[in-house]
Amino acid sequence: METKSIMIVGVGGQGTLLASRILGNAVIGEGYDVKVSEVHGMSQRGGSVVTYVRYGEKVYSPVIDNGGADIILAFELLEAQRALPYLKKGGKIIVNSQQIDPMPVITGACEYPANIAGYLKENADTTLIDALSLAKCAGNQKAVNVVLIGVMAKNTDIPYDVWVQTIKNTVPEKFLEVNLKAFDLGYNS
Amino acid sequence: MKQLMLGNAAVARGCYEAGVKVISSYPGTPSTEITENAVKYDEIYCEWAPNEKVGAEVAIGAAIAGARAMTCCKHVGLNVMADPIFTASYTGVNGGLVIAVADDPGMHSSQNEQDSRHYAKASKIMMLEPSDSSECKEFTKLAFEFSEKYDTPVFLRLTTRVSHSQSLVELGDRENDELKEYTKNPAKYVMMPANAIKKHVDVENRMRALEEYAETAPINTVEDNGSNIGIITSGITYSYAKEALGNSANFLKLGITYPMPVKLIKAFAKKCKKVYVLEELDPFIEEHCKVNGIDVIGKEAFTLLGEYSVNLIKKVVLGEEIEDIKSEPIPVRPPVMCAGCPHRGTFYVLKKLGLNVSGDIGCYTLGAAAPLSAIDTTICMGASVSAAHGMSKARGEEFNKKLVSVIGDSTFIHSGITGLIDIVYNKGANTVIILDNSITGMTGHQENPTTGKTIRGEATKQVDLELLCKAVGASSVRIADPFNVKEFEKVVKEELEKDEPSVIIAQRPCALLKTVKYTGKCVITDKCKNCKMCLKAGCPAITVKDGKPVIDATQCNGCSLCINICPFDAIVKEEA
């Protein structure tokens, strides 16, 4: 199998790290070689965050370059557009419709681009999803990350049961019910 | 079964399997998780030291006492521990001693991009470089073997992408669990000139032996794919090169980047028409090749700046350009202080007073970013205090009355206290603000001597910052809450007026601590006069819609700072 490259982008604090860990553990359950690259430290403080997950027979680089991502899972609109150059030709973007203003927009130094969703759709195979509403439905707005994992899961060839088991192994017991519900809402959206 | 493990966690696992007994470190991205993961093994005594120098000395002591020991740091932390390390190179070890240092090409979370390999050469200490998590574990174990066999400390050099990438690791059992015998040996461990002169001879002999070993070391691997193109590389760049070139090039992967082999490289290069050296940061391997008359292509075709990538290697070596979708220019998203961050109150006041601010290293460095834009300088850990003293001595009393230092609780203990002693001793009159948020924040919540808890979360004696500052002679030490902005402003003004050294402890815990429970959400009511004062705090939850400030409920954590700032009482708390 050719190596699959999935990029998870968002805003520090949105839970991209947990999403990449669930994804990484789900693919080893399937017997693949896998590498996950994370960013810790300063960029986690409300900045743009990017994690990469790559899996296949043998994976060397843990990092995805421009033009290299099969799937981009974006937790926020502006971050989806920022990540667009990383998408492979024919790749797919799954994007949460949430808008989080970065500080230069808040201070008025620049404007949040209008109609990012339209821009993405013009340039790539785009699935737009209101993951925040679904997370609230599941019982906790912080479960946005797992809703999005659910949407993405449907776009991989990893079976449903493997995902559920991985979430059970990764998420703390007291948040499990909310997260399983969030996953299902994403998976069935 | 194989486990998906962070590079840093794999180093910790390597320590466990190698029988390591003591680890002492100061947190520093991207090295922090080594020590954090090592704590999970009951067999390893782990601690957070007040700074890297202390951490290294604890590890050196443990190794001399017969235990396998490690200290971990980021590249700039290695500067702090350089002093003991250079002499530990002379004493050598008893139990194995490994220094794990993580460089940060691309400066994801650092103030410079220094290349730690120069330290290996300067201190004459062997250096190993793993390229993935599996090698992180194996090279850690090997490093301890080399340390004991060659009587030397050993560097394990990581970079951000190795430290913070997860890949598969096969777990093994713990071995070498016994302490080595301890015997007094001043000729080996007392480094006064007469002994050190003799030990230097040993060091040079050791380096010759290691150079010889490097020629045939199993972790310096040659992959001959019958190509005309040769790649000499190490660490993460090997992974990029393999991804980019597959089997279309020959590879010499150096697991030992100091000392490097000569004959091995010459023999490898001879078989290739073109040889590239792929290494991030400085031309360390490249210069070794060129000094030894080996013709290689290095920095002239690549870059001294930032990280390498698969695409860069494809472009230079294969001439392949990648077609990507060009995005239009869009707003950047720099990191910001979190909603509820206690530092926001401090910087709001400092900005309002128009002060010059000597800054330091931590989350609060973000006080330099717009709209707070409050910090004038950031150099290194501790420099806020001593540099402000220098500024005041240079520019005099007038300037000093408009100048403060800001430094975190952990950073103050790390190396701010010595600066304060300098101010007191040398008749300074600076005002130092200690941002006491009850935790080491930026590196992801580590305990420190001021928190009253050890790395394992056990209760311990707590350094009392107020008493400490008074004890070294600060004439005035006051505690203030940075969210009580009016009172805080008053305290800052009063302390600046004093002609003596003063300390303000800005006390409020980090909003991300589990013990901090703000409730409800702040909401802007129709009493809002649109003065936009609240926006000056730079809270990510307060944004502008249709020309008026609004609070994003998904981001607000109910800290109430904006309520304290609003001059028209237009912001209220809505309880959930």
- Annotated domain spans of chain B: 2-216, 220-318, 343-507, 521-574
Q: CA B297, B302, B307, B313 torsion: positive or negative?
A: negative
Tokens of B511: 């909003």
CA proximity to A179, closest of A169, A74, A100 = A169
What are the chain B neighbours of A119 within 8 Å (beta carbons)? 328
Yes or no: domain B220-318 corresponds to CATH 1.10.490.10: no
Which three-class secondary structure state does DSSP give residue B230?
strand
Which of A40, A64, A82 to mutate to test binding with chain B, by most B CBs within 10 Å of its CB? Answer: A40
d(CA B317, CA B496): 60
Categorise residue A150: left if φ over 0, alpha if ψ from -120 to 50, beta otherwise. Answer: alpha
In this structure, what are the phi and psi dihedrals at residue A69, rounded to the nearest 5 degrees?
-90, 130
- Give the type of residue at B279: E
What are the chain A neighbours of B236 within 8 Å (beta carbons)? 62
Per-residue pLDDT of chain B (576 residues; tens, 9 = 90+): 789 999 999 999 999 999 999 999 999 999 999 999 999 999 999 999 999 999 999 999 999 999 999 999 999 999 999 999 999 999 999 999 999 999 999 999 999 999 999 999 999 999 999 999 999 999 999 999 999 999 999 999 999 999 999 999 999 999 988 999 999 999 999 999 999 999 999 999 999 999 999 999 999 999 999 999 999 999 999 999 999 999 999 999 999 999 999 999 999 999 999 999 999 999 999 999 999 999 999 999 999 999 999 999 999 999 999 887 777 789 999 999 999 999 999 999 999 999 999 999 999 999 999 999 999 999 999 999 999 999 999 999 999 999 999 999 999 999 999 999 999 999 999 999 999 999 999 998 999 999 999 999 999 999 999 999 999 999 999 999 999 999 999 999 999 999 999 999 999 999 999 999 999 999 999 999 999 999 999 999 999 999 999 999 989 999 999 999 999 999 999 987
How many angstroms from the chain centroid is the CA of residue B136? 18
CA proximity to B133, closest of A4, A37, A26, A16 = A37
In this structure, what are the phi and psi dihedrals at residue B550, rounded to the nearest 5 degrees?
-135, 155
The pLDDT assigned to B325 comes to 79
The count of residues in chain B is 576
Nearest to B442 among A35, A41, A84 (CB): A41
Would you place residue A1 in the very low, low, confident or very high pLDDT band (cuts 50, 70, 90)?
confident
Dmax over CA atoms of chain A, in Å, equals 49
Beta carbons of B93 and B202 less than 8 angstroms apart? no
Residues 145-204 of B with CB under 8 A from A: 161, 164-168
d(CA B150, CA A108): 61
User: Of B88 and A42, which is predicted with more confidence?
Assistant: B88
d(CA B89, CA B94): 12
The DSSP secondary structure of B159-219, one letter per residue, reads EHHHHTEEEEEE-------SPPP----HHHH--SHHHHHHHHHHHHHHHHHHHHHHHH-TT
In this structure, what are the phi and psi dihedrals at residue B48, rounded to the nearest 5 degrees?
-90, 125
Question: H or E element: which one contains B255?
Answer: none
The pLDDT assigned to A31 comes to 85
How close A100 gets to chain B, by Cα (Å)? 9
Question: H or E element: which one contains B526?
Answer: none
d(CA A19, CA A38): 11
Beta carbons of B22 and B455 less than 8 angstroms apart? no
Yes or no: domain B343-507 corresponds to CATH 3.40.640.10: no
Rounded mean pLDDT of A57-77? 96
The pLDDT assigned to B294 comes to 98
Give the architecture (CATH level 2) of B521-574. 2-Layer Sandwich (3.30)
For the beta sheet containing B403-408, the strands, ordered from the edge strand earlier in sequence to the opposite edge, are B356-358, B403-408, B431-436, B502-507, B476-480
* Residue-averaged pLDDT of chain A: 93
d(CA B131, CA A97): 37
Nearest-Cα residue of chain B relative to residue A79: B333
Residues 524-553 of B with CB under 8 A from A: 535, 538, 540, 542-544, 552
The pLDDT assigned to A41 comes to 67
Nearest to B325 among A11, A65, A124 (CB): A124
How many angstroms from the chain centroid is the CA of residue B291? 32
Give the number of other CB atoms < 10 A from CB of residue B568: 12
Quote the domain boundaries for residue A132: 4-105+113-187
The pLDDT assigned to A42 comes to 66
Is B335 within 8 Å of A45 when comparing Cβ atoms? yes
Is B166 within 8 Å of A24 when comparing Cβ atoms? yes
Residues 23-42 of B with CB under 8 A from A: 29-30, 32-33
What are the chain A neighbours of B167 within 8 Å (beta carbons)? 33-36, 59, 62
Residues 223-262 of B with CB under 8 A from A: 236, 239-240, 242-243
Beta carbons of B116 and B383 less than 8 angstroms apart? no
Rounded mean pLDDT of A119-135? 96
Q: What is the number of helices (H) and of strands (E) in chain B?
A: 22, 22
Nearest-Cα residue of chain A relative to residue B444: A41
Beta carbons of B389 and B419 less than 8 angstroms apart? yes
Is A105 within 8 Å of B543 when comparing Cβ atoms? yes
Whole-angstrom CA distances from B106 to A23, A110, B55, B111, B281 are: 26, 26, 26, 10, 9
- pTM for the whole structure: 0.96
d(CA B448, CA B52): 13
The pLDDT assigned to B182 comes to 98
Q: What is the SS3 assignment for chain A?
A: CCCEEEEEEEECCCCHHHHHHHHHHHHHHCCCEEEEECCCCHHHCCCEEEEEEEEECCCCCCCCCCCCEEEEEECCHHHHHHHHHHEEEEEEEEEECCCCCCHHHHCCCCCCCCCHHHHHHHHCEEEEECHHHHHHHHCCHHHHHHHHHHHHHCCCCCCHHHHHHHHHHHCCHHHHHHHHHHHHHHHCC
How close A187 gets to chain B, by Cα (Å)? 23
Is A104 within 8 Å of B334 when comparing Cβ atoms? yes
Give the number of other CB atoms < 10 A from CB of residue B318: 13
Is B331 within 8 Å of A111 when comparing Cβ atoms? yes
Which tens digit of pLDDT belongs to each residue from B500-541?
Answer: 999 999 999 999 999 999 999 999 999 999 999 999 999 999
Nearest-Cα residue of chain B relative to residue A81: B327
Pairing of strands A69-74, A4-11: parallel
Is B540 within 8 Å of A46 when comparing Cβ atoms? yes
d(CA B73, CA B81): 9
What are the chain A neighbours of B30 within 8 Å (beta carbons)? 40-41
How close B164 gets to chain A, by Cα (Å)? 6
Given this chain, do its domains B2-216 and B220-318 carry the same CATH topology?
Answer: yes
Summarize chain B as % helix, strand, coil (round to 5): 40, 20, 45
The pLDDT assigned to B20 comes to 98
For the beta sheet containing B250-254, the strands, ordered from the edge strand earlier in sequence to the opposite edge, are B220-223, B250-254, B229-233, B274-278
CA proximity to A120, closest of B195, B530, B327, B165 = B327
This complex has an ipTM of 0.94
pLDDT at A23 over 70: yes
C-alpha dihedral (B212, B214, B217, B223), degrees to nearest 10: -130
The pLDDT assigned to B62 comes to 98
d(CA B277, CA B266): 13
Tokens of B446: 């580590």
pLDDT at A44 over 80: no
What is the domain count for chain A? 1
Is B333 within 8 Å of A141 when comparing Cβ atoms? no
* Fold adopted by B2-216: Rossmann fold (3.40.50)
The pLDDT assigned to B514 comes to 92
Dmax over CA atoms of chain B, in Å, equals 80
Q: CA B433, B436, B440, B445 torsion: positive or negative?
A: negative
Percentage above 90 pLDDT, chain A: 82
Residue B478's beta-bridge partner residues? B504
Which three-class secondary structure state does DSSP give residue B30?
coil
A12 contact partners, CB below 8 Å, separation of at least 6: A43, A44, A45, A46, A47, A48, A49, B335
The pLDDT assigned to A43 comes to 62
Beta carbons of B65 and B94 less than 8 angstroms apart? yes
- The DSSP output letter for B26 is -
What are the chain B neighbours of A117 within 8 Å (beta carbons)? none
Q: What is the CATH number of the domain that holds A159?
A: 3.40.920.10
Would you place residue A39 in the very low, low, confident or very high pLDDT band (cuts 50, 70, 90)?
confident
d(CA A135, CA B412): 41
Is B29 within 8 Å of A100 when comparing Cβ atoms? no
C-alpha dihedral (B318, B319, B323, B327), degrees to nearest 10: 120
Is B442 within 8 Å of A104 when comparing Cβ atoms? no
Nearest-Cα residue of chain A relative to residue B166: A36
Which three-class secondary structure state does DSSP give residue B8?
helix
